[in-house]
Amino acid sequence: MDQSLDFFTLYVVIVALALSLTAVWGAIAWQNRGFASARTWFIACLVQAGGGLMLPFQYGANGVYVAALANGLIVYGFWLFWMGLRRFQGERPEPGLPVAASLACAALTVALFASNELIALLYAVSQIAPMAAMLASLIRHDRGSIGAVIACSGLAVGIAGHVVVIGMNLVILASSGPVPDWSATAALTMLGVIFSGLLLNFGLTVATIDHLRDELATLADTDPLTGVLNRRGLERWLSSDACGRAERHGVLALDLNEFKQINDRFGHDTGDECLIHFARLIRAQLDDEARLARLGGDEFCIILPDAGQDDCNAAAASIQAALASSPLIVRRQKLHLACSIGGVVWHHRAGMAFQEAFATADKALYARKSRRSA
């Protein structure tokens, strides 16, 4: 019995894999409709599966044009994977490059169709280019994540397989006599393509899970109205290594003056606008190391890492000055907001609990509010 690898069987496996991955990314895109990368990868798999299904018809009538369309689609699918990765990394890729590369592959397929070796070189080079672009992008942006490591491994396997194909066909083109039978090696390169695709998509799936998990954590730690930390987010930061690195922290307690009266007079929508305006102005006065949290209602807290009392006083003065000079426009009227702030230095390494430090800052806040009302 002939136990050699069957090319047609491998081809069927590759197309079945593309269709299966289409279903996987389609499900992920459907469940996470705001996740643009999953939609792009779904379309990439669909395009590649469509191109793969056309390949058997390249040996019939008008086969050259079928081959050009099929391989143009397959190459475009690779570039779509690259576009999805760039979106995943927070960048906006230029769509003109994938289109141009795919059209060039299709045109060259028509021109070189008479030579099996040149066609093989064309397909290998056309697929290496987007794979190499993805590999470089992953190394540059995400090399520390396990998903990126898996995806890079898949890309490296795929590129290595295509390099072998290039080498074999260059030897054939350069030889004037008989050449070795490389059918087994060629079949192994197709297995490499299958393994490469599995690793790439598995790595991207792992990266997607990590990304979605981080998004959920961020949502759970963020106040939905103002976009700053909520109480849970503040507590998570207080238990983090970032909090423990500094010997002391400045703790500020803040709230808006006469916020209840604003709600009663203008309504709760205007009250929400006041809170958004207040949080935006506070953030503009703080550096990247500081943490701002909304604890509830109009009550906010600021943590100033490695800050003393003078730093707390300076931050409070800056916030109050910004609030005084930046009124909120409500119904074409200027609504001047004011706030009360209390500050204290939290020496957490001396055993002082955060709740104790915040309670002291809160007392200072109400003392200032009482003096203002008197």
Identify the segments of the chain with pLDDT beneath 70: 1-7, 10, 143, 372-374
pLDDT of residue 88: 93
State which of 166, 192, 221 marks the end of a domain.
Answer: 221
Q: Are residues 183 and 74 in the same domain?
A: yes
Phi then psi dihedrals of residue 295, to 5 deg: -90, -15
Structural domain including 312 reads 231-373
Q: Are residues 217 and 236 in the same domain?
A: no
Does residue 251 fall inside a structural domain? yes
Q: Are residues 239 and 213 in the same domain?
A: no
Total number of domains constituting the chain: 2
Q: Are residues 243 and 216 in the same domain?
A: no
State which of 221, 242, 263 marks the end of a domain.
Answer: 221
pLDDT of residue 300: 96
State which of 198, 221, 244 marks the end of a domain.
Answer: 221
Question: Which helix (H) or strand (E) element contains residue 293?
Answer: strand 291-296
Say how far apart CA 360 and CA 362 lie, in whole Å: 5
Stated pTM of the model: 0.76
Q: Are 233 and 292 in contact (CB under 8 A)?
A: no
pLDDT of residue 369: 81
User: Is 60 strand, coil or helix?
Assistant: coil
Q: Are residues 363 and 279 in the same domain?
A: yes
pLDDT in tens, 11-70: 788 888 889 999 999 999 999 988 999 999 999 999 999 998 888 888 777 889 999 999
Which residues are 143's β-sheet partners? none
pLDDT of residue 3: 40
pLDDT in tens, 30-47: 999 889 999 999 999 999
Q: Give the rounded distance of the alpha carbon of 208 from its chain centre.
A: 8
Q: Are residues 236 and 293 in the same domain?
A: yes
Does residue 314 fall inside a structural domain? yes
- Written as six digits, the tokens of 210 are 């990590």
